[in-house]
């Protein structure tokens, strides 16, 4: 039993084994195409759904896998170990779209949305950021104006939407009373594909996580019935912040997976590559790099699992999730940089995967709250 498994329950060990096998057998063979061709791995979605990976924390009554948050972190890590794009498609869907519906939705909303999301027949996204509003999330300008008949008129633009071009369901944040600042924000559930007035922006061309489709969402004269309001009026900011607390554990797990990929690839390479008459793994400078990478990655996982365990136990975890995301994302970037250094010239070309790990790791320091915002939260 390795040191990760030793900390886990029997069920969590089984989940990890299943995720690892699926990642290695089914996701890994696609990973280079996903990156090089900016390919959205559509064929994985039904398979991820069958395994329960698209409704990890959803109760069985709504068709989910009813697993805990540690299991969720394990699944995201194993997917990210082989393909960071796939891992973020899964994590944005689970923690940013499903979780707020689970936590704040009424029975009718849960019954309507969760079964198809958990099965993977619909995909979810989360729309908080705007062209001029990222870290300062309370400064929402996308507006929701209540009409005489109780419907809501939505107008505005949302940016950087993971899964935006492919999502069916969106958890959307809007401003209704700017004078009330964060207390004037509402959350809605939007059916993106069949609500008039919704336009999906062009797919962004990104540095990394190239197979994870990202776009803006435009709302113009978009009318939503009152049944689409998520939570109470004015509760939107709290919903967004609480959702991101859980999302940050997922991004920490993603960063752990990317960092582990850099470490494991570099260790194999160092055992093969020779310099000065012996494998470079026998040179102390290389050993020191590998030792530092392994300490930081294991530390990052411990922080991510601590935050997940607190969430599972109903304890506060805002600070712990921010600590995990901050530490893990910096550890992943550092591991990828050291991995490139260990690979030398081969690390700088696309023949090896380690340059992809750097491009994929970088976003973990930015999305779901930058490192600067995590420090502010801590």
User: Of residues 219, 237, 269, 289, which one binds ligand CAA by CB under 6 A?
Assistant: 237
Beta carbon of residue 368, minimum distance to ligand CAA (angstroms, whole number): 4
By CB under 6 A, what part of segment 174-203 binds ligand CAA? 182
User: Of residues 87, 129, 186, 228, which one binds ligand CAA by CB under 6 A?
Assistant: 129
The verdict on 244 binding ligand CAA (CB under 6 A) reads yes
Computed from CA positions of residues 337, 306, 89, 363, in that sequence, does the dihedral angle turn out positive or negative? negative
Contact 108, 155 (CB under 8 A): no
Closest CA to 264 of 18, 76, 77: 77
Catalytic residue among 60, 351, 368, 372: 368
For residue 130, the 8-state DSSP code is B
By CB under 6 A, what part of segment 260-279 binds ligand CAA? none
CA distance 99 to 93: 9
By CB under 6 A, what part of segment 310-329 binds ligand CAA? 318
Structural tokens at position 76 = 């995201």
Closest CA to 356 of 74, 20, 28: 28
Ramachandran region, residue 230 (left: φ > 0; alpha: ψ -120 to 50; beta: rest): beta
Comparison of 129 and 216: residue with beta carbon closer to ligand CAA = 129
User: Of residues 72, 113, 126, 173, which one binds ligand CAA by CB under 6 A?
Assistant: 126
Site string for ligand CAA, 6-45 (x = CB under 6 A): ----------------------------------------
The verdict on 157 binding ligand CAA (CB under 6 A) reads no
The H or E element containing residue 328 is helix 318-343
368 is catalytic: yes
Site string for ligand CAA, 75-104 (x = CB under 6 A): -----------------x------------
End-to-end Cα, the chain, rounded Å: 34
Q: What is the DSSP string of 176-238?
A: S-GGGGGGGEEEEEEESTTSTTEEE-PPPP-SS-TTS-EEEEEEEEEEE-GGGEESSTT-HHH
The verdict on 246 binding ligand CAA (CB under 6 A) reads no
Question: Which spans of this chain sit near ligand CAA (rule: CB under 6 A)?
Answer: 92, 126, 128-129, 135, 137-138, 160-162, 182, 237-238, 241-242, 244-245, 318, 367-369, 373, 376-377
């Amino acid at each position: 039993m390795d040191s990760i498994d030793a900390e886990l329950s029997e069920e969590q060990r089984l989940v990890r084994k299943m995720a690892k096998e699926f990642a290695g057998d089914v996701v890994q063979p696609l990973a280079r195409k996903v990156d090089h061709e900016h390919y959205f791995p559509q064929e994985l979605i039904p398979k991820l759904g069958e395994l329960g990976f698209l409704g990890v924390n959803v109760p069985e009554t709504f068709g989910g896998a009813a697993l805990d948050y540690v299991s969720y972190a394990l699944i995201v890590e194993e997917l990210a170990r082989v393909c960071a794009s796939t891992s973020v498609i899964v994590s944005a869907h689970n923690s940013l779209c499903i979780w707020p519906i689970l936590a704040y939705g009424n029975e009718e909303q849960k019954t309507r949305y969760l079964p198809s999301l958990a099965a993977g027949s619909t995909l979810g996204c989360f729309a908080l950021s705007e062209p001029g509003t990222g870290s300062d999330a309370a400064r929402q300008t996308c507006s929701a104006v209540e009409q005489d008949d109780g419907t809501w008129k939505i107008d505005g633009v949302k940016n950087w939407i993971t899964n935006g071009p492919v999502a069916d369901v969106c958890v959307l944040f809007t401003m209704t009373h700017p004078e009330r600042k964060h207390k004037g924000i509402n959350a809605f559930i939007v059916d993106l594909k069949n609500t008039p007035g919704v336009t999906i922006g062009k797919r962004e061309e990104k540095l990394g996580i190239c197979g994870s489709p990202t776009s803006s969402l435009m709302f113009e004269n978009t009318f939503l019935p009152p049944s689409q309001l998520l939570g109470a009026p004015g509760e939107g900011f709290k919903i967004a912040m609480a959702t991101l607390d859980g999302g940050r554990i997922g991004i920490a797990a993603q960063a752990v997976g990317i960092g582990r990929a850099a470490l494991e690839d570099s260790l194999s390479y160092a055992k093969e590559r020779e310099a000065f008459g012996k494998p470079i793994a026998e040179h102390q400078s290389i050993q020191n790099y590998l030792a530092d990478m392994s300490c930081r990655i294991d530390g990052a996982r411990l922080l991510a699992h601590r935050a997940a365990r607190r969430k599972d136990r109903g304890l506060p975890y805002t600070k712990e999730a921010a600590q995990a995301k901050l530490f893990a994302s910096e550890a992943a970037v550092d591991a990828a940089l050291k991995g490139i250094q260990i690979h030398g010239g081969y690390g700088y070309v696309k023949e090896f995967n380690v340059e992809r790990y750097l491009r994929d790791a970088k976003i973990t320091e930015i999305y779901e709250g930058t490192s600067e915002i995590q420090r502010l939260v801590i």
